[in-house]
Amino acid sequence: MTVSSPTTHRAVVFPRFGDADVLEIIQVEAPTAGPDQVRVRIEAAGVQPFDARYRAGLFEPYVPAQLPQTLGNEFAGVVDQVGPGVTGVAVGDEAIGFVWQAAYADLVVVGAHEIVPKPAGMPWTEAGVLSASGQTAHTALQELGVERGETLLIHAAAGGVGHFAVQLARELGARVIGTASERNHDYLRGLGAEPVTYGDGLVERVRAIAPEGIAAALDAHGGDEAIEASVALVEDRKRIGTLSGYAAAQRFGIQLIGTQRSADRLNELVDLYRQGKLVVTVQRAFPLEAVADAHREVETGHVRGKVVLTTQG
């Protein structure tokens, strides 16, 4: 069933590695939902630090790009086409979903198991940034085995993955210490974390407020400083995780954490949002046409929460 059948739609690509100026918006053939798939008209799509680093070629050869490469791992929108065999989803349903590098676009086709219902009243901008970063944070806490009563150190705690990880860890009953710039300290306190300033002397500052020690650490930034501090503070290196420090993970024997995405995991996050237990912070929204500016914003390294692209208007 289809509401409308556009023949083409907009998609963002980078035809070569480089700075944000290499990003282009092109017209491509509109996708069609196949068996067990749905097509979603995207309203909002999250912009992740991963996207900017991928565009810059920093993940070659770990995550090879197929140039010209599309981008975007999380989205929210309205189902406008349902493929054969799909049940429980109808045209017009508002959904939150995940996909591999295809969400910076007007339309996306995904498996029906890769979307969940969007809560009524949830702003599109918030819905569009929940799936990838939220599931990454959820996965990381599981992989690190964070438990009630333990102390967790989160680097870049005010960022996209970080602000979700703080809240999820607090929901588990853990104590959270989060690194951030001074301007984000009150924000982190509001989420339930104890902030510390990153930079020289970080290890000593953490030890001063947690003399009993740190059980686990999550590097949501990817910098050597964060990983080296974690190694100094956490006894069991298997309880140190990094999201993008590929070389450091091998060098120090720590976990390289990827996202284990599923509708069940995403539904857990949505349920927490419905209960008022999960705040989604959006620093700024950009229209799709300003995708290069959105990447530049992310690359400042000072984003509180998330940056999002919007497609409508």
With CA atoms as reference, report the closest residue to 130 among 302, 242, 304, 282: 282
DSSP 229-293: HHHHHBS-GGGEEESS-HHHHHHHT-EE------HHHHHHHHHHHHTT-----EEEEEEGGGHHH
Render pLDDT for 256-292 as a digit per residue (tens, 0 to 9): 998 899 999 999 999 999 999 999 999 999 999 999 9
Domain holding 237: CATH number? 3.40.50.720
Identify whether the C-beta of residue 65 lies closer than 8 Å to the C-beta of residue 54: yes
With CA atoms as reference, report the closest residue to 140 among 165, 173, 109, 104: 165
pLDDT at 1 over 50: no
- Rounded Cα distance between 166 and 182, Å, is 17
Beta strand 8-14 with 24-29 is: antiparallel
- Rounded Cα distance between 244 and 87, Å, is 37
DSSP 208-229: HH-TT-BSEEEESS--HHHHHH
pLDDT at 29 over 90: yes
In this structure, the answer to whether residues 304 and 205 fall within a common structural domain is no
CB neighbour class for 186 (10 Å; exposed up to 12, middle 13-18, buried from 19)? exposed
Q: Token pair 């992989």 is at which residue?
A: 143
Chain-centroid distance, C-alpha 194: 22
In this structure, the answer to whether residues 41 and 64 fall within a common structural domain is yes
Domain holding 76: CATH number? 3.90.180.10
The residues with which 28 forms a beta bridge, in sequence order, are: 9
In this structure, the answer to whether residues 17 and 122 fall within a common structural domain is yes
Domain with 252, as residue range(s), is 133-256
Q: Kindly state whether residue 264 falls inside one of the protein's structural domains.
A: no
Identify whether the C-beta of residue 245 lies closer than 8 Å to the C-beta of residue 218: no
Q: Kindly state whether residue 163 falls inside one of the protein's structural domains.
A: yes
In this structure, the answer to whether residues 99 and 143 fall within a common structural domain is no
Q: Kindly state whether residue 3 falls inside one of the protein's structural domains.
A: no
Render pLDDT for 120-141 as a digit per residue (tens, 0 to 9): 999 999 999 999 999 999 999 9
In this structure, the answer to whether residues 155 and 246 fall within a common structural domain is yes
Q: Kindly state whether residue 2 falls inside one of the protein's structural domains.
A: no
The number of residues in the chain equals 313
In this structure, the answer to whether residues 61 and 165 fall within a common structural domain is no
**How many domains would you assign to the chain?**
2
Q: Kindly state whether residue 272 falls inside one of the protein's structural domains.
A: no
Structure tokens at 179: 């690194």
pLDDT value for 223? 73
Identify whether the C-beta of residue 30 lies closer than 8 Å to the C-beta of residue 4: no
pLDDT value for 4? 53
pLDDT value for 2? 46
Q: Kindly state whether residue 277 falls inside one of the protein's structural domains.
A: no
CB neighbour class for 87 (10 Å; exposed up to 12, middle 13-18, buried from 19)? exposed
The residues with which 97 forms a beta bridge, in sequence order, are: 75, 115
In this structure, the answer to whether residues 144 and 98 fall within a common structural domain is no
Q: What is the DSSP letter of 141?
A: H
With CA atoms as reference, report the closest residue to 123 among 301, 285, 305, 304: 285
In this structure, the answer to whether residues 138 and 249 fall within a common structural domain is yes
Render pLDDT for 205-225 as a digit per residue (tens, 0 to 9): 999 999 999 999 999 976 788
Identify whether the C-beta of residue 241 lies closer than 8 Å to the C-beta of residue 266: no
